[in-house]
Amino acid sequence: MKKATKGPSIKTAQALLAKHECPVPFHEVRTRFLGNIATPAISASPLQIIKDLWGGELPPFDSIEEVNELLDTLVQGLWNDLTRHQKRSQPFRLTRPSTEPTAVDLGQYGLVRLQELDGFIEGLFNGEDVIDLPERAHEAVDRLAEMRAMMAGICALVSHAPDADDAAKLGTTFSHLRELTRIMETEINEAVLSCTRARRQMIEGILTEKPTVH
């Protein structure tokens, strides 16, 4: 029997992004890619969203081999791995930062979630200010925007009181954040599934249209 070959690992993708000084943190790269995989925008392409990680152009390379290594790792590895989340049986999960009851960890947790939500919306909208989304995906984006505002509020709160380490209160806050994370994941997955269904129906509609007889 033939064995399926696996693409480059996630760790390889992280190492190459760090090597080429990608300004976007890896947890946000994941959600940007996922949003772009789901987007109904016809113009979406893995190459463009990879370029956008560095502001619109690929970083400098010493050889063509380095270019191919980066693109193979990000497309054949990370991008292809994320496409499995277009199935309900393979839900996407957000990064799990440290949740020690400290103000520092609380601020970092809020920042990671904020960046992940920004990344997903950026990938989904594919550089557009307005995009036509299926109803369930539109609802999900509205809810994610509300939770994004909450994460921004947490970041602002911690920045004003970085030493407020009341373990009991922080423990309660982290408990709420873990519940919010589950809601975020639900809304992200519903947006992806909704867009995937809509795209499939559109393609099926095009394929089943009878050609006009002249």
pLDDT of residue 7: 63
CA atoms 84, 74, 177, 133: torsion sign: negative
Q: How many angstroms separate the CA atoms of 4 and 185, rounded?
A: 29
DSSP 8-state secondary structure symbol assigned to residue 19: H
d(C-alpha 100, C-alpha 199), whole Å: 42
Tell me the pTM. 0.89
At 9 the pLDDT is 83
Q: Which residues of the chain have pLDDT under 50?
A: 1-5
pLDDT per residue as tens digits for the range 161-192: 766 667 788 889 999 999 999 999 999 999 99
Residues 191, 137: contact at Cβ < 8 Å?
yes
- Looking at residue 2, its pLDDT comes to 44
Which amino acid is present at 200? Answer: R
Instruction: Output the pLDDT for position 208.
Output: 66
Token look-up 């519903």 returns 190
Q: What is the pLDDT of residue 3?
A: 45
